[in-house]
Amino acid sequence: MNITVIFFLGLIIALVGVVPPGLLNMTAAKVSLKEGANRGIVFSIGVCLIVFLQTYIAAMLARYLSNHYYVVEILQRVAFVIFILITIYYLLVAKVPAKPEVEAHTKSGQSRFFQGMFLSAINVFPVPYHAYMTITIAGFGWFDFEKSSILTYVTGAAMGTFVMLYVYIFFFDKIKNKNFTSQKNMNYIIGTITGIVAGITLINIVMDWK
């Protein structure tokens, strides 16, 4: 498989996973707004180091699951239901939360780096997310579980995470008052993304039946 394609698959999949406002990207934005872009970048580097390790673990898990396909079939159906429920929640149920408080004290660059590592470590979402996505793209023939492919995908995923955190850092202050970045519209975006993933999952399930 072309490693350039695999790299960009990892990058794009990671970008999609970090687009919705969450703990990591919003913290990166707040650090940048309060302490400057350099501190936000240091925080993001700490995040991406852990994401690299998490994505590698996810790929190893996916490789194991690919050799036990009955488990994959069960996980596909569970994932489909979960993505449908998330889509319904964000499109029809989710309410606009109150704005979070920005912490009052500042931290050193080194502290922000380790803060990024810590918050990323407790955010375990990338492991099941990338495990599922690598199995999915492997099912389409776009990815294999050779060592070079795994390392390329993992590097792309780490880079994609950094790119999205970078976008939050440098553009959050300029676009935070725009209508398209309101929490309501962000909920619609998240719901649309999870709906698309649910559709891809359904296609995989149907293809497996044939």
Number of other CB atoms surrounding residue 204 within 10 Å: 18
Domain that holds residue 21: 3-84+96-180
The reply to whether 204 falls in a domain is no
Query: Given pLDDT bands bounded at 50, 70 and 90, which one contains residue 72?
Result: low
The reply to whether 158 falls in a domain is yes
- pLDDT at 104 (0 to 100): 44
Highest-confidence segment of 104-108, 112-116, 119-123, 125-129: 112-116
Of residues 180 and 189, which shows the higher confidence score? 189
Q: Where are the alpha helices (DSSP H) in the chain?
A: 3-18, 23-35, 37-66, 69-88, 109-122, 126-139, 147-175, 183-209
The reply to whether 80 falls in a domain is yes
The reply to whether 196 falls in a domain is no
Instruction: Give the pLDDT mean for 139-143.
Output: 83
The reply to whether 203 falls in a domain is no
pTM above 0.75, yes or no: no
Q: Do 52 and 155 meet the contact criterion of CB atoms below 8 Å apart? A: yes
- pLDDT at 178 (0 to 100): 55
The reply to whether 148 falls in a domain is yes
Count of structural domains, the chain: 1
The reply to whether 186 falls in a domain is no
The reply to whether 189 falls in a domain is no
